């Protein structure tokens, strides 16, 4: 009889910080203490607090251990599992809590990280074993599919999804119910359901975590979509760079087939549905729906003009519905709990919740799910725990290479599709990269543009050539050779690329440049006119100087300089015994090694 | 799988396993499992509670958990029952037979077994 369960996170973050080793050690220690029969180990999907991994949670008390190492396992087993005394030093301490007692009693759901969250999409992530279909069923899994096939007509299903107000979570925000309704009436011998799991934005890992933590819910949702539009085949297009997601999804599909939840005549309803996985080679453009379908067909991933929309002519020229992972993950819940329940969360035109991958200069890097309409400040300061090292918040970048940035002045914006569009930003698929005062906005625009220059498929000239020209102008600015006219040139070229590209990649590629010019024009001007980088990032605009009065002549800087650019001078400052050093600006490569090694704060960058 | 009934059967079978992770039920049974408790025989008591609560179908509302030393080592094994809105009940000098009785009469029947509580020993 199992009296306690130990959940070990098996998401990508915790797997790379060592959770498989922990599991082996737990097995060994439980065996040694004769507890194997009463305590069960479960490997789950992502808990969301990736920054504190590997994480372990012990039920029924819900004690949350963070940063657990192999050597800690013995103590947890002997103290907590055997004697009931949680190992306090490993219990996740919520920031702000002081006494050890308070720490231990901080149940997981009461921590600041989880308190403001509302987990709908992620409800099973970190709770069930993703490789065990029975655990999914125990959490009402496949009940929605059962309900749809036995009680509802395809029209009912589409109406339910439409009424819920669910919109596409991949970034565009197109109403999911309308997408299905457009596809359903089209007659064809074969229709398709496609799941877009080609999550390509740098810093985004929402879809990966859902596939890793709750793969069955995607299978169930796709079967429901298939029933609604009259499709019997589905494809999940997932990046080959997501090995854990691919593995768990493969296992889940096999289990669903074994139970007859995929295949012929599901629930004796006469409805057939089956799924296949297609691995993507990691091209960003394949996240665009038409390019994705071209890639599934075995061709080079390039977008094609719309219309005809996929709902009319999609995969293999057949009517197709394509939705993103997170969109699908909402579907079974909406069917079970009703459109009204879903529509009760969120704002007027953005219903439900949204998952964000928090990254960059933030205390709690990880995965969060919030109701639509939550202020950005709550996400950054409460859930995210604020900016580390007492630095100041500068901006947050949303939507990756297609998105824009939100500056400090707009931090109280309530996050939903329309509010973000209104301030010239976009929801995007959910990447959220936080920047502090040490981040240069011109450099950030350059980073994302560099990505789109690489990822442009080359089909349209404005995108292929235009993004490269943008990149060159940005490089000119950051190397100190920019002119004021360059900022105007950037803006007009951005507009041209937006208006003349075929697909979403080109149409949105200039967004990071436009948004940073809009909110941080003064930084561009500083680079161009004053030839300075206010954040101290752009190397060509920096000079390292030694304050000859503060330099005690120890020579640490000169010894660590890789370019031999530092030499002793003739000058000895009053009160010091040795002559000071100076940097030869012509030789300096601006690596910053001298600054990092000076113990007397005599070196600064200007 | 050809019917919703089959799906329901799997759900029932697995319920005990996941209900543990859904947070605490209305009633919390805590067994003192420090060295003193274990030496006095707390382990069979804990196991009896876990087994009976599950067998009696009480998993939804009763959570069985363990804790460290409560500080009254002469009375071990000690079991405390917490229920929202009610006073805490402390059972002392427990064994697996008494545990079975507590599940039957207190957790299921709603009646505190006075003669096993600490009050009965202190008088």
Segment A121-143 mean pLDDT: 92
Phi, psi of A256 (to 5 degrees): -65, -40
Lowest-pLDDT range of A89-103, A153-167, A446-460, B78-92: A89-103
Tokens linked to A525? 């001007």
Kindly give the residue spans of alpha helices, DSSP state H, lying in B20-95: 35-40, 42-55
| pLDDT at residue A103 is higher than 90 | no
Q: What is the pLDDT of residue A170?
A: 87
> At A525, is the secondary structure helix, strand, or coil?
helix
Residues of B in Cβ contact (< 8 Å) with A85: 34, 67-68
Question: What band does A392 get if pLDDT is binned at 50, 70 and 90?
Answer: very high
Choose the mutation target among B7, B28, B48 for the interface with A, i.e. most A CBs under 10 Å: B7
| pLDDT at residue A539 is higher than 60 | yes
Nearest-CB residue to A134 (from B4, B14, B66): B14
Residues of B in Cβ contact (< 8 Å) with A140: 11
Kindly give the residue spans of alpha helices, DSSP state H, lying in A139-283: 143-151, 154-164, 176-183, 206-213, 215-229, 243-258
Choose the mutation target among B9, B13, B18 for the interface with A, i.e. most A CBs under 10 Å: B18
Residues of A in Cβ contact (< 8 Å) with B53: none
Q: Could you tell me the pTM of the whole model?
A: 0.86
Q: Among residues B78, B77, B51, which one has the least CA distance to residue B64?
A: B51
Q: Do B1 and A61 touch (CB under 8 A)?
A: no
| Cα A217 from Cα A121, distance rounded (Å) | 9
In chain A, % of residues over pLDDT 90: 76
| Cα A552 from Cα A46, distance rounded (Å) | 51
Q: Do B7 and A260 touch (CB under 8 A)?
A: no
For residue A57, the cross-strand partners are A7, A64
| Cα A386 from Cα A96, distance rounded (Å) | 12
Q: Are the beta carbons of A562 and A591 closer than 8 angstroms?
A: yes
Q: Are the beta carbons of A429 and A199 closer than 8 angstroms?
A: yes
Segment A515-532 mean pLDDT: 94
Q: What is the pLDDT of residue A427?
A: 85
Nearest-CB residue to B14 (from A4, A82, A135): A135
Minimum Cα–Cα distance from A263: chain B residue: B1
Q: Are the beta carbons of A404 and A515 closer than 8 angstroms?
A: yes
In chain B, % of residues over pLDDT 90: 24
Q: What is the pLDDT of residue A97?
A: 44
Nearest-CB residue to B7 (from A107, A128, A143): A143
Q: Do A1 and B35 touch (CB under 8 A)?
A: no
| pLDDT at residue A94 is higher than 70 | no
Question: How many whole angstroms from its chain centre is CA A25?
Answer: 30
**A393 burial level (CB within 10 Å; 0-12, 13-18, 19+):** buried
| Cα B9 from Cα A138, distance rounded (Å) | 10
Cα–Cα distances in angstroms (integers) from residue A110 to residues A47, A92, A107, A125, A346, in the given order: 14, 12, 5, 18, 22
Q: Do B14 and A138 touch (CB under 8 A)?
A: yes
Residues of A in Cβ contact (< 8 Å) with B67: 84-85
Segment A141-156 mean pLDDT: 96
| pLDDT at residue A106 is higher than 70 | no
Question: What band does A146 get if pLDDT is binned at 50, 70 and 90?
Answer: very high
Write A241-244 long-range contacts (CB < 8 A, 24+).
A241/A282, A242/A12, A242/A197, A242/A199, A242/A208, A242/A211, A242/A212, A244/A10, A244/A11, A244/A12, A244/A15, A244/A212
Segment A215-232 mean pLDDT: 97
| Average per-residue pLDDT for chain A | 91
State which of A1-15, A197-211, A481-495, B30-44 shows the largest mean pLDDT: A481-495
Torsion from C-alpha of B83, B85, B86, B92, nearest 10 degrees: 30
| pLDDT at residue A96 is higher than 60 | no
Looking at the complex, report in whole angstroms how far the Cα of residue B116 sits from the nearest Cα belonging to chain A.
Answer: 23
Looking at the complex, report in whole angstroms how far the Cα of residue A84 sits from the nearest Cα belonging to chain B.
Answer: 4
Q: What is the pLDDT of residue A179?
A: 97
Lowest-pLDDT range of A58-67, A233-242, A324-333, A462-471: A58-67
Residues in chain A whose beta carbon is closer than 8 A to a beta carbon of chain B? 1-5, 7, 38, 40, 59-62, 82-85, 107, 109, 127-128, 134-135, 137-140, 142-143, 146, 150, 259-261, 265, 267-268
Segment A357-372 mean pLDDT: 92
Who has greater pLDDT, A114 or A594? Answer: A594
Q: Are the beta carbons of A534 and A540 closer than 8 angstroms?
A: no
Lowest-pLDDT range of A50-59, A83-92, A323-332, A501-510: A83-92
The pLDDT tens digits of the residues spanning A416-469 come to 999 988 888 888 889 999 999 999 999 999 999 999 999 999 999 999 999 999
Minimum Cα–Cα distance from A133: chain B residue: B10
Q: What is the pLDDT of residue A95?
A: 45
Q: Do A127 and B18 touch (CB under 8 A)?
A: yes
Q: What is the pLDDT of residue B25?
A: 65
In the 8-state DSSP scheme, what is residue A175?
A: B
Q: How many CB pairs under 8 A join A and B?
A: 94
| pLDDT at residue A211 is higher than 50 | yes
Tokens linked to A165? 């107000």
Q: What is the pLDDT of residue B69?
A: 75
Segment A405-424 mean pLDDT: 91
Q: Do B20 and A142 touch (CB under 8 A)?
A: no
Q: Do A83 and B31 touch (CB under 8 A)?
A: no
| pLDDT at residue A604 is higher than 70 | yes
């Amino acid at each position: 009889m199992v009296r306690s369960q130990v959940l070990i996170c098996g998401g990508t973050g915790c797997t790379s910080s060592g959770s498989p080793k922990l599991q082996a050690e737990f097995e060994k220690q439980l065996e040694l203490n004769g507890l194997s029969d009463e305590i069960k180990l479960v490997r789950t999907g992502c808990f969301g607090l990736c920054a504190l991994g590997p994480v372990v949670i012990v039920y029924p008390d819900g004690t949350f251990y963070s940063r657990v190492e192999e050597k800690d396992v013995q103590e947890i087993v002997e103290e907590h599992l055997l004697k009931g005394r949680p190992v306090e030093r490993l219990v996740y301490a919520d920031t702000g809590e002081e006494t050890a007692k308070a720490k231990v009693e901080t149940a997981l759901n009461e921590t600041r990280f989880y308190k403001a969250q509302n987990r709908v999409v992620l409800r099973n992530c970190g709770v069930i074993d993703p490789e065990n279909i029975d655990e999914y069923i125990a959490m009402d899994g496949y009940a929605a599919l059962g309900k749809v096939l036995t009680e509802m007509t395809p029209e009912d299903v589409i109406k339910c999804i439409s009424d819920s107000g669910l919109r596409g979570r991949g970034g565009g925000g197109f109403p999911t119910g309308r997408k299905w309704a457009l596809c359903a009436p089209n007659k064809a011998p074969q229709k398709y359901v496609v799941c877009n799991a080609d999550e390509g934005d740098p810093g985004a890992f929402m879809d990966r975590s859902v596939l890793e933590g709750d793969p069955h819910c995607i299978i169930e949702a796709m079967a429901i979509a298939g029933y609604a539009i009259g499709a019997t085949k589905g494809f999940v297009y997932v990046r080959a760079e997501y090995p854990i997601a691919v593995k768990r999804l493969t296992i889940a599909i096999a289990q669903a087939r074994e139970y007859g939840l995929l295949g012929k005549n599901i629930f004796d309803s006469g409805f057939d549905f089956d799924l296949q996985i297609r691995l993507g080679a990691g091209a960003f453009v394949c996240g665009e729906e038409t390019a994705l379908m071209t890639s599934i067909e075995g061709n080079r991933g390039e977008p094609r003009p719309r219309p005809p929309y996929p709902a009319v002519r999609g995969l293999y020229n057949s009517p197709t519905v394509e939705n993103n992972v997170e969109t699908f993950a909402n579907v079974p819940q909406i069917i079970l709990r009703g459109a009204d329940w879903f529509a009760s969360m969120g704002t007027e035109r953005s219903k439900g919740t949204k998952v964000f991958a928090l990254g960059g200069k933030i205390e709690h890097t990880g995965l969060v799910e919030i109701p639509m309409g939550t202020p950005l400040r709550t996400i950054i300061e409460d859930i995210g725990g604020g900016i580390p090292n007492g630095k100041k918040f500068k901006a947050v970048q949303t939507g990756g290479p297609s998105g824009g940035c939100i500056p400090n002045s707009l931090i109280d914006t309530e996050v939903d599709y329309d509010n973000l569009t209104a301030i010239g930003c976009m929801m995007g698929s959910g990447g959220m990269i936080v920047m502090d005062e040490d981040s240069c906005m011109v450099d950030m625009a350059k980073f994302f543009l560099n990505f789109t220059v690489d990822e442009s498929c080359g089909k349209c000239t404005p995108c292929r050539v235009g993004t490269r020209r943008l990149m060159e102008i940005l490089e000119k600015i950051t190397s100190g050779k920019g002119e004021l006219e360059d900022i105007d040139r950037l803006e007009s070229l951005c507009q041209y690329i937006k208006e003349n590209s075929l697909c979403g990649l080109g149409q949105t590629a200039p967004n990071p440049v436009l948004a940073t010019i809009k909110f941080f024009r003064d930084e561009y001007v500083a680079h161009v006119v004053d030839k300075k980088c206010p954040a101290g990032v752009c190397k060509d605009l920096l000079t390292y100087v030694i304050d000859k009065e503060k330099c005690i002549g120890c020579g640490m800087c000169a010894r660590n300089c890789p370019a031999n650019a530092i030499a002793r001078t003739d000058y000895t400052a009053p009160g010091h015994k040795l002559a000071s050093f100076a940097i030869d600006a012509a030789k300096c490569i601006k690596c910053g090694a001298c600054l990092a090694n000076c113990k007397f704060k005599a070196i600064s960058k200007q | 799988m050809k019917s919703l009934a089959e799906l329901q059967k799997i759900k029932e079978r697995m319920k005990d396993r996941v209900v543990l992770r859904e947070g605490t039920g209305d009633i919390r049974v805590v067994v003192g499992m420090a060295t003193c408790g274990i030496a006095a025989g707390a382990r069979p008591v804990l196991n009896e509670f876990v087994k009976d609560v599950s067998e009696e179908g009480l998993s939804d509302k009763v959570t069985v958990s363990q804790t460290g030393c409560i500080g009254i080592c002469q009375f071990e094994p000690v079991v405390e029952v917490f229920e929202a809105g009610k006073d805490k009940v402390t059972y002392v000098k427990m064994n697996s037979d008494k545990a079975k009785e507590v599940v039957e009469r207190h957790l299921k029947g709603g009646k505190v077994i006075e003669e096993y509580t600490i009050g009965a020993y202190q008088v």
